Chains A and B, each alone.
Chain A
Amino acid sequence: MEIIKAIKEIYKNPNSSYSRIIRQKLGFGFLIITALITVVPIFAVVIFILLKGLPAISWTFLTAFPTDGVKQGGILPAIIGTFYLTIGTAIFSVPLGIGAAIYLSEYAPDNRWTRVIRIAIINLAGIPSVVYGLFGLGMFVLFLKFGTSILAGSLTLSIMTLPVIISTAEEALHAVPQSFRVISISVGATRWQTIRRIVLPQSLPGIMTGVILGLERAAGETAPILFTAASFFLPRLPNTPLDPTMALPYHLFVISTQVPGMPVKIQYGTALVLIIFVLGMNLIATTIRSRARAHRQW
């Protein structure tokens, strides 16, 4: 009844201070609701998977091979595979991405050429992941003859991860005050000395955060490894980077859609392990960031 009274008041006297305050309250209320709506699904997903998946988690589940046509047993090869793929992606994308970011932020002049590079990087980030998968199949698996392998999958994931790493690293480098660079140069440092001794150490936490967020995305992707690295079932762990591997996201896809009569418990257990893997990386990134903020001297 209170509300109806308020609406009537707004309708009659739209500019009275009472109705302006009511409108402000309605506005805030609306914004709070939108914020809640965005947060609720995230918690819902995590809690739902936690509840459904937790019963499946056991020592055997984490350390054993799948048995009975993946319907029983554990998911060890998928966990190890995702770990290998993440490491492999890091090996290629981290040095390349940070190097490119340093070039763009510290050395490159602002001209048409560097603007083209920047636009390319932004657009690279928008390409659907399945397209990266197809490119990886054509380029690494077939043309370079790496076969379906950890190497081909890591390279494919690296290309997908690069734009994230480059743009966050560039942002972190830009955040270092320009005055530090001027001071460093003015006491006789070269550009490279300035970068190595001042700019990089100061931006490292930001760069690390970007790296982890990029790798986290790579760890959770299915499409790029679908044709390049992942295998339905392997009786043993991969020995070399040229071996194919099982991986958590692909395994989850397979057991959720391709295996009739698959126990639901194992599906959710696998999802839970994947989510813990990804959220764990996220937690590390957040910790690095907040620690660095607390210790920052500018």
Chain B
Amino acid sequence: MIAQNVAFWIVALSMAGAAVGVVRTRNVVHAALYLVVVLGGAAAQYILLAAEFVAWVQVLIYIGAVVIIFLFGIMLTRAPMQSETALDNDQRWPALVVAVFLLGVLIVLLVDAFGDQTIRLDDELLATGRTGNVGSSIFRQYVVPFEVVSMLLLAALVGAVAIARRD
């Protein structure tokens, strides 16, 4: 247990720092890289929670594809590489207030609701997170959402092409 906790804390802190970096850095590309850290950290957390399939999908999709798209987007929109202009707009401080406030509310709520609940890392958990289990769950119980999501992907693909096409 201690090992997991330590691992958790290291990963968590780096994720938090990277997240703050995403929203605070003046360099867009740096923000993308910080995002990579966050996404990787998330994958690490999944593994800690014995959700291995989700973790690898996370790495594959998010880090492997989404971030690439982001970088393409940054490139195509000629985002200023240098920090000539500030990347934050006028409502920074009110936004900070709202965010902190929301955080406070959530923490209070969570502490209040889930005070000392623990996650037991046992074989049952491992069994749950096995890929085979996840797969069978998808293709049995959640096959309809699965198909719908594939339609969604198709629509998104077509839509993205349609929107961004130069005509």
Q: Report whether chain A binds chain B.
A: no
- B interface residues (Cβ-Cβ under 8 A, vs A): none
